[in-house]
């Protein structure tokens, strides 16, 4: 349930704060005042695409924040949707009591936006996974989703409840086994394909093994190639070094120093130091001379090195570096051994597939029986609701595909069974049932959707429903019935309804008036919480007789009192 909504710099709203009640919240106002802006704000908060045009003109940033109370049933639905780490978002995982959750979305003039859940930044995808569990928003054209057979099937499954959930879970688990077997059979392939795979794997294994690429071989080869390409230059420089060291006059200098020591002992130290240099120089000369023979230029050696480098690079391009090659080789050997023994494995997998298909068929048949059994009850409830909405001759049923036999069920199998359903509808007497998407008018679809919401509110467990002008094209007695339906829904779920009908406004438990104000070349939307007198005046305005007849005020009072008595009787 949404407790408080705070909006800043969103379209025409400069700043607004709304505290909603837990029953029927009505939002009304003059045409063009911006009633649906509030719905747009909630949609943006819960994951709708942000566009810079939504930021109030002249502002750099805006925000939408809302406090939600989530209870046991919402927590269970969050876990069912795969959001199982509730604690990390500050939500009690014990399912006990209610938790308050703050969702905020800031948006900026450069098109960027920031989303947080209880102060923790989250992604748009994560927000979208929360949204449909917290709030169900229905606008004038949102019936389109219910034209999708998969959505229709999901609605029926919700109606079937826990007795179906158990079998759906079993079906999902067995379906995973079925897909695993199909994957393994595909990997083995048919006999002719297996032979091709064996040949190809054998070639790859042979290629890698024959290449025998070392871990750093490419780097070593590149270094050697650099030396070979510059062998003549290196040899020439070494010869110069050897000649320079060999032709030094170190011996003559040492002899002179030894003679000088007879005159001064200091020259003995110089002689020793020079002797050390000569020993080190001889060692260097010996080392250089030994290496000099390594740098003879041989074209054949360079050609062989280039060929080897080409092999190494080709292997790395195909299979990766040495470690990747090692893994690829290991996997390829395992696959090859498996393929060579595939006939027995293929036969075993085929038997497994037959067994899993038989099991799946039984499970799917049970699922189908449950669905078909509950479909009639759901149809009767929809027809009953439609009659109360003025569609006396309406007929509705859920059409099922013919249940397949075991030997042909594979083409229909899913993780949810093998049923395909379609809503069939007829609004008028004597007209045959046809697909709902092809025969229902806009007004009929609106009333049908309201009937579905009334029924689904009992079993889908959504805390908050928003109706954006669901009363479009409706008036009079039917408007009164729509108001009664909304009141019924609000007994189990919080309802926010944007309306222009006095009948719905009179049923409000909490009523907001939306007005557009222009001042100093600036336009803004203002939102006011109405007290009882304010509600009476707004109902009178919606009746279209305010200021025309003194009786309009009393009519509004009578409508409000009747609505209060109706809700009291239903509680």
User: Beta strands of 385-541 (E only): which ranges?
Assistant: 395-400, 421-426, 434-435, 464-468, 494-498, 510-519, 522-529
Can you spell out the DSSP letters for 227-262? HHHTHHHHHHHHHHHHHHHHT--HHHHHHHHHHHTT
Question: Between the ranges 254-268, 425-439, 478-492, where is the mean pLDDT highest?
Answer: 478-492
Q: What is the rounded average pLDDT for all residues in the chain?
A: 82
Please tell me the predicted confidence (pLDDT) of residue 237.
64
Residue 398 predicted with pLDDT over 90: yes
Please tell me the predicted confidence (pLDDT) of residue 106.
94
Would you place residue 177 in the very low, low, confident or very high pLDDT band (cuts 50, 70, 90)?
Answer: very high
Which ranges of 62-161 would DSSP assign to H, the alpha helix? 72-80, 124-134, 149-160
Instruction: Using alpha carbons, select from 496, 508, 472, 494 the residue that is nearest to residue 143.
Output: 472
d(CA 304, CA 291): 22
CB atoms within 10 A of CB 159: 20
- Give yes or no for a contact between 160 and 417, defined as CB atoms under 8 angstroms apart: no
d(CA 538, CA 425): 37
- Give yes or no for a contact between 535 and 560, defined as CB atoms under 8 angstroms apart: yes
d(CA 400, CA 398): 7
Please tell me the predicted confidence (pLDDT) of residue 337.
77
Residue 416 DSSP label: T
Question: Between the ranges 132-136, 244-248, 360-364, where is the mean pLDDT highest?
Answer: 360-364
- Give yes or no for a contact between 54 and 516, defined as CB atoms under 8 angstroms apart: no
pTM: 0.65
CB atoms within 10 A of CB 556: 24
**Residue position matching structure tokens 């025969």:** 439
């Amino acid at each position: 349930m949404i407790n408080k909504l705070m909006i800043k710099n969103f379209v025409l709203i400069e700043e607004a704060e709304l505290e909603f009640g837990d029953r029927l919240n009505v939002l009304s106002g003059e045409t063009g005042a911006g009633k649906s802006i509030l719905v747009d704000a909630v949609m943006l908060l819960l994951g709708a695409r942000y566009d810079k045009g939504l930021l109030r003109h002249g502002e750099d940033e805006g925000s939408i924040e809302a406090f939600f109370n989530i209870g046991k049933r919402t927590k269970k639905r969050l876990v069912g949707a795969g959001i199982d780490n509730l604690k990390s978002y500050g939500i009690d995982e014990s399912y006990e009591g209610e938790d308050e959750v703050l969702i905020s979305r800031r948006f900026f003039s450069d098109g960027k936006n920031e989303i947080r859940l209880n102060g923790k930044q989250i992604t748009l995808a994560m927000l979208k996974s929360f949204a449909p569990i917290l709030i169900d928003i229905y606008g004038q054209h949102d019936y389109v989703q219910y034209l999708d057979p998969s959505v229709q099937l999901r609605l029926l499954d919700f109606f079937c409840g826990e007795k179906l959930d158990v079998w759906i879970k079993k079906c999902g688990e067995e379906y995973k086994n079925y897909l695993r077997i199909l994957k393994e059979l595909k990997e083995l392939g048919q006999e002719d394909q297996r032979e091709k795979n064996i040949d190809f794997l054998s070639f790859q294994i042979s290629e890698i093994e024959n290449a025998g690429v070392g871990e750093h071989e490419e780097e070593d080869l590149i270094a050697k190639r650099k030396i070979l390409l510059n062998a003549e230059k290196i040899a020439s420089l070494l010869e110069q070094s050897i000649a320079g060291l060999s032709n030094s006059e170190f011996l003559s200098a040492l002899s002179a120093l030894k003679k000088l020591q007879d005159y001064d002992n200091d020259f003995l130290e110089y002689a020793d130091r020079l002797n050390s240099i000569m020993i080190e120089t001889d060692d260097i000369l010996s080392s250089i001379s030994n290496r000099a023979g390594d740098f003879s230029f041989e074209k054949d050696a360079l050609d062989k090195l280039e060929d080897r480098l080409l092999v190494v690079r080709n292997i790395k391009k195909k299979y990766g570096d040495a470690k990747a090659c090692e893994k690829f080789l290991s996997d390829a050997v395992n696959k090859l051994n498996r393929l060579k023994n595939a006939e027995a494995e293929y036969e075993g997998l085929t038997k497994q597939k037959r067994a899993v298909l038989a099991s799946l068929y039984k499970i799917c048949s049970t699922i189908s029986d449950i669905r078909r059994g509950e479909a009639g009850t759901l149809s009767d409830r929809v027809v009953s609701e439609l009659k109360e909405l003025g569609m006396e001759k309406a007929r509705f049923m859920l059409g099922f595909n013919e249940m397949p036999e075991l030997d042909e069920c594979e083409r229909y199998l899913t993780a949810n069974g093998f049923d395909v359903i379609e809503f069939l509808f007829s609004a008028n007497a004597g007209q045959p049932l046809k697909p709902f998407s092809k025969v229902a008018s806009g007004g009929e679809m609106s009333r049908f959707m309201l009937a579905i919401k009334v029924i689904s509110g009992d079993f889908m467990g959504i805390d908050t429903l928003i109706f954006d002008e669901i009363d479009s094209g409706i008036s009079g007695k039917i408007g009164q019935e729509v108001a009664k339906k909304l009141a019924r829904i609000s007994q189990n779920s919080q309802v926010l309804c944007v309306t222009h009908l006095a009948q719905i406004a009179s049923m409000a438990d909490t009523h907001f008036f939306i007005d557009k104000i222009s001042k100093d070349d600036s336009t803004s939307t203002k939102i006011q919480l109405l007290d009882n007198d304010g509600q009476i005046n707004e109902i009178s305005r919606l009746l279209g007789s305010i200021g025309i007849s003194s009786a309009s005020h009393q009519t509004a009072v009578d409508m409000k009192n009747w609505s209060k008595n109706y809700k009291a009787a239903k509680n």
